[in-house]
Structure 1
Amino acid sequence: MEKPRQGFAGLWNISFGFFGLQVGFALQNANMSRIFQSLGEDIERLPGLWVAAPLTGLLVQPIIGHMSDRTWLGRLGRRRPYFLAGAILAAIALFVMPESPAIWFAAVMLWLLDASLNISMEPFRAFVGDMLHRDQHSAGYAVQTAFIGAGAVVGSLFPAVMEALGVANVAPPGQIPDTVRYAFWFGGIALFLSVLWTVIATEEYDPAQMAAFEAAAATPPAPPLRALAAHGYGTGLGWIAAGAFVVFVQMRASLLREVLLLGALLVGYGLASMLAIALARRGKETNMLSSIVGDFAGMPPLMKRLALVQFFSWSALFIMWINTTPIVARYHYGAADAASAAYQAASNWVGELFAIYNGVAALAALTLLPWLARRIGAARTHIVGLVCGAVGYASFFVLRDPTCLIVSEVFIGIFWASVLAMPYAILASSLPQAKLGIYMGLFNIFIVVPQLLVATVMGSIMQAFFPGEPIWTMAFAAATLLLAAAAMLRVVPLVPAGARASF
């Protein structure tokens, strides 16, 4: 028994909810530094405030992946309950965020927003694998990427559209401009309605059907959880020692306090892994902790190699999202004061630049990437995308006219399309379908861990070596993408994703 092939309408319905999710992510990415600085925060402390985004992803995605693999709520299904719950919470956060009276409140709302978006987003990645035949995975993730790009364009442009309609783009010190407030409210409505469309317009395969599809595909079984019981405690102790060393360095070198979070996370993972091994040795194989740690330890080799690529790729992306607004404001508009009209104009231009790279990504996902994948393969196509990203970031040093940064965004857009589609298409065709949710959640750890490193370490690096010069973060971003391209040379897809990327 094989999954039926989906037509374009089916592909549309499966991924349309991602349009609204990306409206929310785009508003967050393009405006949170602006909100924090408008409320009076210093530029060097921005990475520490952004730590909410990767930390919530690190905690939420594996848990939601594990739970969604085991959920079946009748007509509501397996993944859709999480789509709906996350959308409701994210919409609430988007409505409340622009009313933040202080920095701490905005930071709390960022935690809620990012956690809620992750509750919806992680099951959406697995949903494509659930609903589509293997030879449609590339097409499915291409359509999903197109919706990501389209949603990001709308979310990024909305403040500029509001200004063009006469809405105030400047506010008194300590307040958030009306253009941003209205954009977040619009984003809450768009997010909820688009996710609701997917919930209503799709019907998931029940557990019996999924089991039949799995058997027909002859998917190799996942490693048994009891293998975790054979592991020793040495690795866990190593993680704890690494965390303690990070804390020691932070105290001796007087690094920013955010570095302590990195040390705490390393210690926490070491303790969690040791506890999971202890539970497995006692025969308690059904608990969530042992399942997640066991699946993490037993990741397929292909997934481990792709994870390294993701680590470098998302380090560069997080650097861009945090620093593009202060970079463009300072180096292209000559504005360092967050309350000035020039700074707010630069912020709106950053929103438009983000819209450009997302628009390019939407087009590239449906045209350039499938064409390249058919000719040179998915892995080499992703290498091309990573190199394009490095070129785009490096060009910020050369292009001083703000308008010329459009060229930078075209290269970044190709990279963005590739990073959203190619790794997932390669991965979904090589994983056991019964554990697609947890494996996608674990795979996304290598999205959020580099973001945590950037959020906790980059501030200290910049303060020590390049104080007040955020443009140097783009050099870090370009270098990490070249490392990602080199790591991609070791990835050989089990199924040639892109070979049959027809709709």
Structure 2
Amino acid sequence: MKKRLLSFWEIWNMSFGFLGIQFGFALQGGFMSRIFQDLGASKDDIPLLWIAAPLTGLIVQPIIGYLSDRTWHPKLGRRRPYFLIGAILSSLALFFVPHSSALWMAAGFLWIMDASINISMEPFRALVADKLDDSQRSYGFVVQTLIIGIGTWVASNLPWMVSKLGVVDNPVPGEVSNSVKVAFAIGAFVFLISILYTIFTTSEYPPEDMEAFLKEKKEKKNTFVSDMIENVGKMPITMKKLGLIQFFSWFAFFTMWSLANPALTEFTFKAPVPLESAYNMNIEAQKVAFEAAGASSQEASNKVGSYMGVYGLSSMAFALLLTLYTSKRRINRKYVHMTSLILGGVGFISMYFIPSPEWLILSFSLIGIAWGSILSMPYAMLSSSVDPKRMGVFMGLFNMFIVLPQIIAALGGINLAYKLIGNETINAMIVAGISLVIAGLCNFLITEKKAIMYQE
């Protein structure tokens, strides 16, 4: 079916819910490690505590993709019911996670939060492919990336913003910072409102033959597991090649989310989280020194979060340029993605060599170009290579190539890799950079013309 070409604002409305989703992911990516450290986790334990995020994605996204392909609600359509369920659960989890009183509680909330965000996120990818003609796919995913960039930048700066507005961070051992608590509460509100905006402003195409759709749904005897096995077997070769690119890309970004805060507060800002065991709290001078070191570390963490927000701002600017270009012209998705990933790799590696913290703006700006491309080009290439009737399930299965590298990283891959270079945590950023460069070069494997550039 030849689909009607949509206007910019129609595409904006259908993608706006991603603002809230990215608020959730940016707060999680920028500040969960800080929450873990506030609650007493060592930096080497942090990647393993993060394992909830990729594991829930591995389980939830294929299931939601499969179910949404087989769903049709008279009022909410195919994908929007899952937006709504995920939004409600995610908002509750976002609000409560920084109020955790113990490390196990924070890790548990991370499981709930990430599962809930994934319930909303997976159908958004499929919605773009559902609604847009193939000629607008690159444009649609780029607009989505533009909104993601806005969300990343604002959410990453929230703790810094609220601290500037007068919220005081008292460095109390075993307690999460006040600025983080307020930021997560704001994120919960934005998540719910932005998803509701998309639900109320966007319609969906019903199945072309509703009777046949309902009959197939009723008569189909295959189970979810057998369907998944069948779909994995029918995975297009382009999807497998994109999977290799995704593997190295997401290994790099998981490394950043889990270890950038300890790496940069220690190496760049010279303000690591103080260990209470290193101070004699019975001596007033030692107690004062501990509190001063804690305050300095909290301030450094706010600044790291703010600098990390630059990659959202950069991805937004990159996406805006691509939006203006792809609204009228075609692009070579393969070479855009390759160049972007290599630039991001240079950004990560540069963190080791910058002379002062201000240079992190440049590092994260380059990383933002890679991030903007990761959120658009692989999905545009994939959507041109799979059966439209199985768009949801293939988008869900594609998530395997995102979560598997993160699971490997969380189970010790990051710690093993960066310690081959040296014991300083900043070496993890070098590993992330090398991984992105490898991902960029893997684009040479993509050869299908329709995936590389839309063909009439």
Match of 2:106 in 1: 106
Counterpart of 1:298, as a letter, is K
1:345 equivalent in structure 2: 299
The separation in 1 between residues aligned to 2:387 and 2:77, in whole angstroms, is 19
- The separation in 2 between residues aligned to 1:327 and 1:306, in whole angstroms, is 30
**Partner of residue 441 from structure 1, selected from 396, 409, 414:** 396
Instruction: Tell me the C-alpha RMSD between the 2 structures.
Output: 2.4
CA distance 1:153–1:463, change in 2 (3 Å): closer
**Under a length normalisation based on structure 2, what TM-score does the superposition of the two structures give?**
0.90
Pairing partner for 1:385 from 305, 329, 340: 340
Matches within 5 A, 1:141-152: 141-152=141-152
| 2:222 pairs with 1:286 | yes
Residue 16 to residue 498, structure 1, CA distance change in 2 (3 Å): farther
Alignment partners' CA distance in 1, 2:299 and 2:130: 44
8 A Cα contact 1:17 1:195, kept in partner? yes
Is 1:302 equivalent to 2:238 in the alignment?
Answer: yes
Comparing 155-164 with 478-487, greater Cα deviation is found at 478-487
Indicate how the Cα distance of structure 1 residues 390 and 466 shifts in structure 2: closer, same or farther if over 3 A, else same. closer
Within 5 Å, which residues of 2 pair with 1:154-169? Answer: 154-169=154-169
Distance 2:341 2:75 in 1: 41
Aligned equivalent of 1:9? 9
**Pair 206,371 (structure 1): closer, same or farther in 2 beyond 3 Å:** closer
- Percent of pairs with identical residues: 44
Q: Distance in 2 between matches of 1:147 and 1:500?
A: 27
| Residue of structure 2 equivalent to 1:60 | 60
CA distance in 1, matches of 2:211, 2:12: 25
- Quote the offset at 1:460 in angstroms: 4.9
1:430 CA displacement:
2.0
Task: Give the 3-state SS of the residue equivalent to 2:107 in structure 1.
Answer: helix
Separation (CA, whole Å) in 1 of partners of 2:209 and 2:316: 33
Structure 1 pair 25–210 and aligned structure 2 pair: CA distance change class (3 A)? farther
Report the Cα offset of residue 363 of structure 1: 1.2
* Per-residue Cα deviation, 1:324-364 (whole angstroms, up to 9, x for no partner): 10011101111222571221112111211121110110110
**Matched residue of 1:76: which SS?**
coil
SS at match of 2:72: coil
> Is 1:326 equivalent to 2:262 in the alignment?
yes
> Is contact 1:137-1:497 (8 Å) kept?
no
Of the three residues 314, 317, 320, the one matched with 1:363 is: 317
d(CA) in 1 for partners of 2:29 and 2:373? 19
Cα deviation for residue 494 of structure 1 reads 3.6
1:210, 1:434 within 8 Å by CA — same for their partners in 2?
Answer: no
Segments of structure 2 that go 5 or more residues without pairing to the other structure are 214-219, 275-292
Other-structure match for 1:230: none
| Counterpart contact for 1:94–1:188, Cα < 8 Å | yes
Q: TM-score if structure 1 supplies the norm length?
A: 0.82
Aligned to 1:336: 272
Equivalenced residues, count: 432
In the alignment, the residues of structure 2 paired with residue 409 and residue 136 of structure 1 have an alpha-carbon distance, to the nearest angstrom, of 29
What stretches of structure 1 move > 4 A for 4+ residues in a row? 209-212, 368-376, 462-468, 496-501
Offset from partner CA, 1:211-253 (integer Å, 9 cap, x none): 99x9xxxxxxxxxxxxxxxxxxxxxxxxxxxxxxxxxxxxxxx
Q: Residue 128 of structure 2 corresponds to which residue in structure 1? A: 128
Matched to 2:226, the amino acid is S
Q: Could you report, residue by residue, the CA deviation over 1:263-305 in whole angstroms, capped at 9, with x for unpaired residues?
A: xxxxxxxxxxxxxxxxxxxxx9510001112211220011111
Which of 358, 365, 388 is 1:410 aligned to?
Answer: 365
Post-superposition offset of 1:104: 0.4
Matches of 1:471 and 1:192 in 2, distance apart? Answer: 36
Matched, 1:94 2:94: yes
1:44/1:462 contact within 8 Å kept: no
Query: Displacement of 1:76 after TM fit?
Result: 1.0
- Distance in 1 (CA, whole Å) between partners of 2:100 and 2:202 is 36
Write the distance in 1 (CA, Å) between the matches of 2:411 and 2:59.
16
Report the 3-state secondary structure (helix = DSSP H, G, I; strand = E; otherwise coil) of the residue aligned with 2:445. coil
Question: Do the aligned residues in 1 keep the contact of 2:266 with 2:272 (CA within 8 Å)?
Answer: yes
Q: Which amino acid aligns with 1:333?
A: F
Asked if 2 retains the 8 angstrom alpha-carbon contact of 1:390 and 1:478, the reply is: yes
Write the distance in 2 (CA, Å) between the matches of 1:466 and 1:394.
Answer: 13
User: Compared with structure 1, are the counterparts of its residues 424 and 211 closer, same or farther at alpha carbon in structure 2 (3 Å cutoff)?
Assistant: farther
Q: Match of 2:115?
A: 115
Aligned residue identity for 2:78: R
Residue 137 of structure 2 is matched in structure 1 by: 137
Letter in 1 for 2:131: M
Matched, 1:400 2:355: yes
Task: Give the aligned partner of residue 425 of structure 1.
Answer: 380
Does the aligned pair in 1 maintain the 2:61–2:122 contact within 8 Å? yes
The answer (yes or no) to whether the contact 2:380–2:451 under 8 Å persists in 1 is no
Partner of 1:231: none
Conserved in 2, the CA contact under 8 Å of 1:327 and 1:470? yes
**Residue of structure 2 equivalent to 1:260:** none
- The answer to whether the Cα contact below 8 Å between 1:23 and 1:151 also exists between their aligned partners in 2 is yes
**Alignment partners' CA distance in 2, 1:209 and 1:315:** 42
